[in-house]
Amino acid sequence: MNFSLAKQAVASVFHRLGRSQSSSYSTWTYPTTVNSTTPQFIVTPNNGFLPHSDPLERLPDDFHHLESLLQKMPLQIKTDSGSYKEGLLSEGNFGETLVKELPVYDVANITDSALLMALFRDYTFAASAYLLEPCDLGNRISGNFGIGRDHLPASIAVPLVKIANKIGAKPFMEYAQSYALYNYRRKDKSKPVTYDNLELIRQFSGLPSESGFILVHVDMVAKTKGVVEHVIGSLNAVAVNDRLNFNKHLRELVTVMKEINGCMEKMWKRSSPSDYLKFRTFILGTKNQMSIFPKGVEYRGTDLDGPQFFRGESGANDSIIPTIDNFLELTKKMPKNEMTNILKDFRSYRPLDHSNWLKWVEDSASELGIEKYAKLSTDSLQLYIMLLDEVRDFRTRHWNFAKEYIIKRTAYPTATGGSPMASWLPNQLYAVLRMLQDKSLVYRMMMEKEDPKLDEFVTKEYYNKISDQLQSLRKDMLSMEDIYGRYRK
């Protein structure tokens, strides 16, 4: 081999990429084998953003009282005969029963990651039920939440804080490690994680709509093996200036995101909009919920200093769209405002390895210049736009869900995660639409210069469609001022 020529070729590649050969880029690494202490939420192409092993469905006998409480907790409980009976939350008896029956379990010596995660899930369910039980009762009786409980008893707070410290989480309910992604069982263990093969482990209401709401999210995230695989593949391809492989992985990412959006669309049938508010109360947080938790929450028996405030469970904690945002270098184009600050705060409420993954994707995409690299080729730019359009589709659907499931049915202005209901989602969708406008215009100019027939996807009609959606979004936001007050400066 002529090493001098090889060295010149490598230097040429890095020159075209606008980087030096001292680049610090290195690919994503993950354990190829797991054991009992391997964190459940490691990001790999084998499991994506789901846990690497099926969630632990039932607590060991050592935690009998906690298991029993959670079995009796839901508003309604389905019996073996198929009928329903009232659970502890139905009449507001959960908190009183918990104080009487739940001991302070010792969790100090537990190292098994599956048990730690199951205990985190179950203590956060118990914590949210205890804190928000009065709000649920008030909402069902008068339509007003009233005030939540201002403390967690030591029987919940002490083990919850210890477990949260062990797994690197906040001691409050999360989307991934609590409510959704560690809260399913496969009915047939020989079959994959798909909606029809799933059942819930824990829930607050006992309603089929709550089950549908959670399991649609699990079904979506089950597709993220492809997201991880092809984001890694795309970044590696840019690192060596392999345009064909870059385009191949972009194309696969578009396909995977279409599948995820297809799963998301099924939410309308699997979780009734009219049922959502019947269980939504229990996934509210304590941060930015001043009318419910004006003084925060005291964690009794722990060394947490003073009242605590945490964001509630939210789909914004999912890692799908943040991954694509970071990969496309969209995150840094978000408006510099309070809504974007909330976006960044949301991204701290997730498993540690998910956070590490998102930072790696963001840093790698910025270092390699993914956006710039895509614009060097009309084929790549078209695929870049198509992937960005899937982000638009996702966020548009999320906004439509918010309008139909929540905004249409309540004037309470704060989302479960503590974000302003009417301006949080439009902030991100607005940024996506503006970026699509820009990239579509660049693409059309490139194509006109090359003078081939315009591609069917990025046509003038498509550009006009994006412009029309921007106008529609602005009208949506203005029309809600009467409900929520003036929220857009």
In this predicted model, what pLDDT tens digit does every residue of 163-194 receive, in sequence order? Answer: 999 999 999 999 999 999 999 999 999 999 99
Q: Is residue 258 part of a domain?
A: yes
When comparing pLDDT for 423 and 383, which is higher?
383
d(CA 17, CA 263): 37
| The length of the chain, given as a count of residues | 489
The enclosing H or E element of 199 equals: strand 198-200
Q: Is residue 17 part of a domain?
A: no
Averaged pLDDT score across all residues of the chain: 89
Give the per-residue pLDDT at 239: 97
**Contact at 8 Å (CB) between 353 and 411?**
no
| C-alpha torsion sign, points 120, 98, 285, 396 | positive
Long-range contacts of 460-464 (CB under 8 A, 24+ apart): 463/437
CATH number at residue 471: 1.20.58.480
Q: Is residue 50 part of a domain?
A: no
For residues 227-247, average pLDDT: 98
Q: Is residue 335 part of a domain?
A: yes
Does the pLDDT value for residue 2 go beyond 80?
no
Mind listing the pLDDT tens digit for each residue in 311-355? 999 888 899 999 999 999 998 888 777 777 777 788 789 999 999
Mind listing the pLDDT tens digit for each residue in 123-161? 999 999 999 999 999 999 998 999 999 999 999 999 999
d(CA 255, CA 130): 42
Q: Which of 181-195, 220-234, 449-463 has the lowest mean pLDDT?
A: 449-463
Contacts of 148 (CB under 8 A, 6+ apart): 131, 132, 134, 135, 286, 292, 293, 297
Q: Which of 165-179, 271-285, 408-422 has the lowest mean pLDDT?
A: 408-422
In percent, the amount of the chain with pLDDT more than 70 equals 90
For residues 76-89, average pLDDT: 93
Residue 409, helix vs strand vs coil: coil
Which parts of 201-346 are beta strand (E)? Answer: 298-299
Find, among 446, 438, 225, the residue nearest to 320 by Cα: 225
Does the pLDDT value for residue 246 go beyond 80?
yes
- Count of structural domains, the chain: 1
Phi-psi map region of 2: left, alpha, beta (phi>0 left; psi -120 to 50 alpha): beta
Give the per-residue pLDDT at 160: 98
Q: Is residue 2 part of a domain?
A: no
pLDDT band with cut points at 50, 70 and 90 for residue 483: low
Q: Is residue 52 part of a domain?
A: no
Q: Is residue 288 part of a domain?
A: yes
Give the per-residue pLDDT at 145: 93
Q: Is residue 32 part of a domain?
A: no
Task: Give the largest CA-CA distance in the chain.
Answer: 81
- What's the whole-model pTM score? 0.90
Q: Which of 23-37, 66-80, 440-454 has the highest mean pLDDT?
A: 66-80
Structural domain boundaries enclosing 410: 61-217+225-484
